[in-house]
């Protein structure tokens, strides 16, 4: 009887360790496939917005294409056509659509 109790206790302890290992590995997988790429994308977007300068071709989140005419502290004046300019927030400029597709050699 004592041997069966010890066997059950040993089996139960191994199950908990296996569950902890499984849970830890799921957290690691989520970090490397979901959280880390999102942080990298946010960092790249912030860097892009800080480096906007006069003459850059950009696209806003709303889909407006234009050339940067003036850069102010939190806003950018875009030249859409020859004499048509609009003022937009820097955060409204999309990194994904503003990037030129790189040609592979």
In this prediction, residue 65 carries a pLDDT of 92
How far from chain centre, in Å, is Cα 49?
A: 14
Give the residue among 94, 65, 104, 61 at the shortest CA–CA distance from 81: 65
CA 67, 71, 76, 81 dihedral sign is: negative
In this prediction the pTM is 0.64
**Does 13 score more than 90 pLDDT?**
no
In this prediction, residue 5 carries a pLDDT of 42
Q: What is the pLDDT of residues 60-103, one digit of tens each?
A: 998 999 999 999 989 999 999 888 999 999 989 988 777 765 54
Element (H, E) at 76: strand 75-79
In this prediction, residue 24 carries a pLDDT of 93
**Cβ-based burial of 93 (10 A; exposed 0-12, middle 13-18, buried ≥19):** buried
**CATH number for the segment(s) 54-100:** 2.30.30
User: Tokens for 35?
Assistant: 């959280």
């Amino acid at each position: 009887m004592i041997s069966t109790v010890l066997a059950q206790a040993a089996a139960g302890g191994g199950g908990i360790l296996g569950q902890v290992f499984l849970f830890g590995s799921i957290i690691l997988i989520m970090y490397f496939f979901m959280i880390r790429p999102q942080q990298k994308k946010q960092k790249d977007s912030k860097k892009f917005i800080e480096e906007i300068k006069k003459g850059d071709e950009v696209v806003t989140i709303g889909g407006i294409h234009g050339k940067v005419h003036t850069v102010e502290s939190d806003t950018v004046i875009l030249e859409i056509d020859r004499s048509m300019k609009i003022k937009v927030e820097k955060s409204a400029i999309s990194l994904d659509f503003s990037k030129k597709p790189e040609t592979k050699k």
